[in-house]
Amino acid sequence: MSDQQQNQLWGGRFSESTDAFVQEFTASVGFDRRMYRQDIQGSQAHASMLAEAGVLTNDERDAIIQGLDEIRAEIEAGQFQWSVALEDVHMNIEARLTDKIGITGKKLHTGRSRNDQVATDIRLWLRDEIALIDGEMTRLMTGLLDLAEREAATIMPGFTHLQTAQPVTFGHHLLAWFEMLKRDRERLRDCRKRVNRMPLGAAALAGTTYPILRERTCELLGFDGVCENSLDAVSDRDFAIEFCALTALCVTHLSRISEELVLWTSAQFNFIDLPDRFCTGSSIMPQKKNPDVPELVRGKTGRVNGHLIALLTLMKSQPLAYNKDNQEDKEPLYDAVDTLAGCLRAFADMIPALEPNREVMREAARRGFATATDLADYLVRKGIAFRDSHEIVGKAVAHGVDQKKDLSEMSLSELRQFSDQIDEDVFEVLTLEGSVSARNHIGGTAPDQVRAAVARGREAIGG
Ligand code: ARG
């Protein structure tokens, strides 16, 4: 590398050029240019503040703001020359500004450091991404509520241990997914509070001797407040870790939903159909229609969990304040954001398109002795202790297995072999509709409760 390419921004102290490989190895511009918009936004606010503080003249401020606007346009038009020699997004943009407006460009960095600059950029960037992700989460949640309302009375088997347990409504099952996402969105919004704090003003680590107005920059950038300690401001990436943690949880939830969709679209379950546009075929087996979207989302949990561990490990044992280690925060964070946004988008598109096979679901519930608990509860209402009624119903089920008959298919006299407390009214509780409607309390599976929960969900979504 020629000396001319030597980084002008710190060249003063150096007597030889950076080794060519070291330059490549330490550069981050290949990925952190993704934050160019936030870098410019932060610099423009910083320049405005410096002018108000009397550190820059208004003319200098205007030249800087205008120059940065032009640079943004150059980048967006694909005309900007990114240079690895200039290491990162910050120095690329600053060097270009000086090219354009001369010595005034060199004044932009007064009272700040790349350490508080990069921490600010990441927070601004993540804040923007959180807004988009929040929108996709909300779209998915709305889709779940709409589907749950439509399927409030659709009956399916509920499972424990993946064995048929009790009948539930499909709407109720969908609302369980909704609850998971509701908590994920709460976590996202809670994380945003800690993302939305401004490091700028911390400078390299100790603050700056210029009469800066941090509150003013904070206001210009829409932060909720400043980071209160300069050492902490430039060093901690806990907000990014927190984001990855909530992402890991959210994608874990999506993987659980995915797993159920994969099972339910199989020929063995056949509970739902996924429209062709969310599936692919096999190049060899003509009959195949594979649920690729849920499978892929299920697989994405691995990389997202990896990013969480990467960032935790990156942060572990780092002494105060800024260390170059922190440059490694960006790629995991970017990929966590992209992965979460992609998974949510795919799901928000796909969920409203699910087509339940209502008869198949109902038949599966009917066949699996799903109303056995209802019979036990019936006997309790007739005065039998629950443990005894459990034993009685167990014997009736064994008889049913033997005879290949569900409880509701047995005659009254057949049922009365197990208890003389059983009367004609037993058939009301053995029906699937009777079973789900009887669980009529908040959080229960009754169709009326599903509708009420959908109404509450719509309120929660608006909030
Ligand atoms: N590219 C760096 C990063 O991503 C910017 C801050 C560099 N600061 C420094 N003192 N080397 O963290």
Q: Are residues 103 and 137 in the same domain?
A: no
Domain membership of residue 375 as a residue range: 368-461
Q: Cβ distance 207 to 230 under 8 Å?
A: yes
In three-state form (DSSP H/G/I as H, E/B as E, the rest C), the secondary structure along 325-375 is HHHHHHHHHHHHHHHHHHHHHHHHHHHHHCEECHHHHHHHHHHCCCCHHHH
- What is the 322 CA–ligand 1 centroid distance (Å)? 8
Q: How far apart are CA 146 and CA 98, in angstroms?
A: 55
Q: Which of 83, 113, 258, 282 is catalytic?
A: 282
**Of 362, 383, 415, at which residue does a domain stop?**
362
DSSP 8-state code for residue 258: H
Q: Residue ranges of the chain with pLDDT lower than 70?
A: 1-9, 463
Q: Are residues 60 and 85 in the same domain?
A: yes
Q: Which of 2, 161, 283, 413 is catalytic?
A: 161
Any idea what the CATH number is for the domain that residue 49 is in?
1.10.275.10
Q: Are residues 324 and 438 in the same domain?
A: no
Q: Are residues 63 and 9 in the same domain?
A: yes
Q: Is 446 helix (H, G, I), strand (E, B) or coil?
A: coil
pLDDT score for 463: 61
Q: How far apart are CA 142 and CA 126, in angstroms?
A: 24
pLDDT score for 426: 94
- What is the 393 CA–ligand 1 centroid distance (Å)? 69
Q: Is 48 a catalytic residue?
A: no
**Of 110, 139, 163, at which residue does a domain stop?**
110
Q: Is 8 helix (H, G, I), strand (E, B) or coil?
A: coil
Q: Which amino acid is at 21?
A: F
- What is the 323 CA–ligand 1 centroid distance (Å)? 8
- Burial (Cβ within 10 Å: 0-12, 13-18, ≥19) of residue 127: middle
Using the CB atoms, write b or e for 250-264: b if 16+ within 10 Å.
bbebbbebbebbbbb
Q: Cβ distance 171 to 149 under 8 Å?
A: yes
- What is the 324 CA–ligand 1 centroid distance (Å)? 6
Does the beta carbon of 117 lie inside 6 Å of ligand 1?
no
pLDDT score for 5: 53
- What is the 118 CA–ligand 1 centroid distance (Å)? 7
Give the number of the atom of ligand 1 that is nearest the alpha carbon of residue 204. Answer: 10
List the beta bridge partners of residue 168. Answer: 156
Does the beta carbon of 237 lie inside 6 Å of ligand 1?
no
Pocket test for ligand 1, best of 32, 43, 118 (most atoms within 8 A of CB): 118
Pocket test for ligand 1, best of 14, 88, 325 (most atoms within 8 A of CB): 88
Q: Which two tokens stand for residue 135?
A: 């929108």
pLDDT score for 60: 98
Does the beta carbon of 326 lie inside 6 Å of ligand 1?
yes
The CA-based angle 246-160-150, given to 5 degrees, is 70
Distance from first CA to last CA of the chain, Å, rounded?
57
Q: Are residues 427 and 304 in the same domain?
A: no
Does the beta carbon of 88 lie inside 6 Å of ligand 1?
yes
Number of domains in the chain: 3
Helix H or strand E segment including 452: helix 447-462
Q: Is 390 a catalytic residue?
A: no
Q: How far apart are CA 56 and CA 83, in angstroms?
A: 28
- What is the 174 CA–ligand 1 centroid distance (Å)? 46
pLDDT score for 13: 84
List the beta bridge partners of residue 164. Answer: 159
- Burial (Cβ within 10 Å: 0-12, 13-18, ≥19) of residue 307: buried
Q: How far apart are CA 224 and CA 52, in angstroms?
A: 20
Q: Are residues 133 and 280 in the same domain?
A: yes
Q: Are residues 143 and 198 in the same domain?
A: yes
pLDDT score for 17: 86
Radius of gyration of the chain from its Cα atoms, rounded to whole angstroms: 31
Which of these, 99, 89, 106, lies nearest to 50 by C-alpha position? 106
Which of these, 127, 115, 129, 126, lies nearest to 200 by C-alpha position? 115
Helix H or strand E segment including 272: strand 272-273
Any idea what the CATH number is for the domain that residue 344 is in?
1.20.200.10
Q: Is 250 helix (H, G, I), strand (E, B) or coil?
A: helix
DSSP 111-168: T--HHHHHHHHHHHHHHHHHHHHHHHHHHHHHHHHHHHHHTTT-EEEEEETTEEEEEE
Does the beta carbon of 92 lie inside 6 Å of ligand 1?
no
pLDDT score for 8: 58
Q: Are residues 333 and 452 in the same domain?
A: no
- What is the 113 CA–ligand 1 centroid distance (Å)? 9
Any idea what the CATH number is for the domain that residue 372 is in?
1.10.40.30
Pocket test for ligand 1, best of 22, 94, 115, 120 (most atoms within 8 A of CB): 115
Q: Are residues 280 and 389 in the same domain?
A: no
The CA-based angle 192-197-198, given to 5 degrees, is 145
Residue 164's φ and ψ, nearest 5 degrees, are -55, 130
pLDDT score for 3: 39
pLDDT score for 1: 36
Helix H or strand E segment including 159: strand 155-160
Q: Are residues 58 and 195 in the same domain?
A: no
Q: Are residues 195 and 73 in the same domain?
A: no
Which of these, 460, 408, 404, lies nearest to 433 by C-alpha position? 408
Give the number of the atom of ligand 1 that is nearest the alpha carbon of residue 89. Answer: 1
Residues 6+ apart with CB under 8 A from 316: none
Residue 9's φ and ψ, nearest 5 degrees, are -80, -15
Q: Are residues 121 and 170 in the same domain?
A: yes
**Of 333, 362, 391, at which residue does a domain stop?**
362
For 14-50, write each residue's pLDDT tens digit.
888 889 999 999 999 999 999 999 999 999 999 999 9
Does the beta carbon of 32 lie inside 6 Å of ligand 1?
yes
For 197-237, write each residue's pLDDT tens digit.
999 999 999 999 999 999 999 999 999 999 999 999 999 99
